[in-house]
Each structure stands twice: as C-alpha cells, then as structure tokens.
Chain A
Amino acid sequence: AQTVTQSQPEMSVQEAETVTLSCTYDTSESDYYLFWYKQPPSRQMILVIRQEAYKQQNATENRFSVNFQKAAKSFSLKISDSQLGDAAMYFCACYFGPRSNDYKLSFGAGTTVTVRA
C-alpha cells in the first residue's frame, strides 16, 4: 500500500525559532512527487513546497526547506524564523502513481503548528 504518515499531531514553536515537521511514506515506485501543504483556519489549502523524487537536491522556498531522504522514504519540512502567520495545519502529500496522468494525491493526517508570541 502507498501511504503517507505524519507522526506528530501537534507541534509548538516560539516565534522566530525553527520547527521541523516529519513525514514518512511508503511506496515501491521510483518516480513520485512530494508536497507540503498548509491549511490555515480559512480552510484553503496552500502549497508550501514541492520536491520531485528524482531530484537529490532539497527544495527551498524562503523560510521553508525540506530534508528529502529517498532511501529512508522521509520528507521533513523545516520552518525557520517562525512567524505568527505560520500557525496552521500542515499536510504532507504525494503523487505515487507511475503513470504521468495519475493525479490521485495521497495526504498524511496533518500536523497542527502553533506559534507562541
């Protein structure tokens, strides 16, 4: 089975500090796509960062970066210099299918991030 697991239901971080969210996945595919999405109280999911499995270099988007360990099937998200606006639920997600037209996105259970002022 192709699954995405987020083992941290909640994480708390002090403003300006760094927090790391973990994500592991299970697949036999060699080509897949990984994403982190943020869902604030407005409920609208927003893409934070994305990583293609064949790329070894870790993706970075401003204060957000990933640590992609393909052999370990791990895809963690680091939020640096945390801001109050980062408070949200974060979902790890993946397109596992080998077919280029497989747009079935699998999500983890989510991690709620609280930022303390």
Chain B
Amino acid sequence: KAGVTQTPRYLIKTRGQQVTLSCSPISGHRSVSWYQQTPGQGLQFLFEYFSETQRNKGNFPGRFSGRQFSNSRSEMNVSTLELGDSALYLCASSGGQDRNEKLFFGSGTQLSVL
C-alpha cells in the first residue's frame, strides 16, 4: 500500500509569489490534515479536510488556503509569500472517523522563500 505522497519535496520561491503544494493520502483515507513546521514555532495545525469539506482550521491568515478533491487528494495554496512562510509543510491522512486513529504523515515539502 502506497504511503502519503507529497509533491514537490523542495520548493524555492520569492516574496510575493504564490505556491501550491500537493498531498495524495493513503488509498481509502478520507481525512487530510496539513501542518507547518518551523524551528521557531514548531508544528502548527493549518487545516483538515474530510470528504471535500474543511472540518477544522488553525490560526493562519487567509493567504493560506486548501481544498480536497473527490479522490481525497488535497492541495494547499499560499498566496503573496512572505519570508516567514519558509517551513516544512507536512500532510497527514487517516480514515477521519476516530480520533484514536493512526495519522500517516508524508515526508513533507520544504518551502524556502527568498
């Protein structure tokens, strides 16, 4: 069974640009969550989608958005990039119906904003 796949692995952008990150969950999983990891702020929750609906949202500005498709694949978009958006973005998937479920994480997308 394939794991959670995130693309691309690395991304370099400049301030003001926008970026789209992709996450393909494990087959059969309906929940996809996104997390931002930085040395200063640690791991912070961005949002969670379940069956194409955003079910939970973290405290991030509106520049951060996401969506989920009917095949459960998810994308997150960051517009008007700032230097502080440089981070490792992790995606995780699960069945989404029991909070004791195991979350399966991808290897992340390392975003550098210059």
Contacts and interface: CB of A to CB of B under 8 A. Distances in A.
Interface of A: 33, 35, 42-47, 50, 52, 91, 93, 95, 100-110
Interface residues of B, number: 25
A105 B107 contact: no
A68 B67 CA distance: 37
Contact of B100 (A44, A50, A109, A110): A50
Interface stretch (B11-19, B20-28, B42-50, B72-80): B42-50
Q: Which of B45, B90, B94, B100 has most A Cβ within 10 Å?
A: B100
Nearest to A105: B45
Given A103-B31, A104-B56, A106-B45, A44 B105 contact: yes
Nearest to A32: B99
B17 to A, nearest CB: 24
B8 interface: no
B33 A103 contact: yes
Contact of A103 (B42, B99, B106, B108): B99
Given A43-B107, A44-B106, A102-B56, A107 B99 contact: no
Given A45-B92, A107-B43, A101 B102 contact: no
A30 B45 CA distance: 22
B98 to A, nearest CB: 8
A34 B111 CA distance: 29
Given A33-B99, A101-B55, A104-B56, A109 B42 contact: yes
Contacts of A103: 31, 33, 48, 50, 55-56, 94, 96, 99
Contacts of A104: 45, 48, 56, 58
A43 B90 CA distance: 9
A45 B50 contact: no
Nearest to A93: B43
B113 interface: no
A52 B103 CA distance: 15
Nearest to B9: A43
